[in-house]
Structure 1
Amino acid sequence: MGGFKLMEQYEIINDFNQFSSWLSTLENIDETLWTEPIATDKWSISEIISHILNWDNHLLSEVLPSVRNENGMDFPDFDAFNKNASEYAKSGISKTKLLKEAKDTRKLLVKELGEMPNENLNKPLTANGVTHCPFTGTPYSLLYIVKEFIDHDNHHKRQITQFLKENNLG
């Protein structure tokens, strides 16, 4: 039997939950830094947060229901999906509202993951029709995808932290 042990499952979901707390550290960022690209040809902090929020919404509305029905997980075309997130961040939404949406959505996602039966979390499923991660050879499961999203969160957190340090705020 593959999959993650119960303690590992708890740790993964707990790690995924940490993102909500981290978002609180961004509440006092100056508005100009919030909307300024973090580097040439890169997104702003607001676009990055909107990007993560967009993926969380996709997990909640598409992936979790599909897993509950024991179907594979489907993910949209990244470029178009990410462009929508960028446009949402530039739509005039306030920093406070975007951070609240991101926190509330992550908390709901963590709650739903926590209530999901272990079999659903660990059941091997396809991701866009693929059975195994091409990089690790590990069978895809919801929990494996959540671990990938944690790595994705951490990548963006490092980018934001570095940008804030460069602007003497880290």
Structure 2
Amino acid sequence: MSEDTNIISEFGKYSSWLNTLEDMDDTSWVKPIAQGKWSVSEIIAHIINWDNHLLSVVIPSVRNEKGMEFPDLDNYNIKASDYAKSGISQSKLLEEAKDTRNLLVKELNELPAEKLNKSLTANGVTHCPHTGTPYSLIYIVKEFTDHDNHHKGQIIQFLMEKTT
């Protein structure tokens, strides 16, 4: 398996992990995971929002060999929080999260390696300021996997603390 395939496969595992949240009680689903933090539902909506951005903006841009654009984080994240609080059910939000991620993984798997690895800008920047690595779609997917894992860890910790 190529490194690209491994990265995309890791990214796709989030979809299966969501199944572990199906039996969460309603109170825990909407309760902030810590003071000043989001609820599990808001975190899931937040990840859906970014998956949708990758699908609708970033992948088409990469296909056209244009730079990748990302919106203002705070405003974009507020939209996700509002969506989670809109009255959408837990089962519907989880289904949407799985469907969106599965579609995103399918789209990524259909892109040729040259497109996945082509150096492109992210909001006009050529290299990651933290690692010095040139930006490419596959690099962004790896970053998003790390982002998912951060939030999964927060949720797992919250659920463990709830049961002790």
1:9-158 aligned at under 5 Å gives the runs: 9-158=4-153
How far the C-alpha of 1:138 sits from its partner, in A, is 0.2
Query: Which whole-Å CA distance do the structure 2 matches of 1:82 and 1:25 have between them?
Result: 24
* 4+ aligned runs moved over 4 Å, structure 1: none
Query: Which whole-Å CA distance do the structure 1 matches of 2:163 and 2:10 have between them?
Result: 27
Query: Which whole-Å CA distance do the structure 1 matches of 2:7 and 2:112 have between them?
Result: 15
How far the C-alpha of 1:115 sits from its partner, in A, is 0.3
1:159 alignment counterpart: 154
TM-score of the aligned structures, taking structure 1 as reference length: 0.95
Q: Which amino acid aligns with 1:76?
A: P
Q: For residues 89-120 of structure 1, give each alpha carbon's deviation from its aligned partner in whole angstroms, at most 9, with x where no partner exists.
A: 00000000000000000000000000001100
RMSD of Structure 2 on Structure 1 (CA): 0.8
**What secondary structure, in the 3-state scheme, does the structure 1 residue paired with 2:163 have?**
coil
Query: Which whole-Å CA distance do the structure 2 matches of 1:157 and 1:137 have between them?
Result: 26
The share of aligned pairs that are identical, in percent, is 70
Query: Which whole-Å CA distance do the structure 2 matches of 1:159 and 1:69 have between them?
Result: 36
TM-score of the aligned structures, taking structure 2 as reference length: 0.99
User: Structure 1 stretches of 5 or more lacking a match?
Assistant: 1-5
Q: Which amino acid aligns with 1:91?
A: S
Query: Which whole-Å CA distance do the structure 2 matches of 1:69 and 1:128 have between them?
Result: 16
Query: Which whole-Å CA distance do the structure 1 matches of 2:51 and 2:143 have between them?
Result: 13
Q: Give the number of equivalent residue pairs.
A: 164
How far the C-alpha of 1:7 sits from its partner, in A, is 1.4
Query: Which whole-Å CA distance do the structure 2 matches of 1:153 and 1:125 have between them?
Result: 22
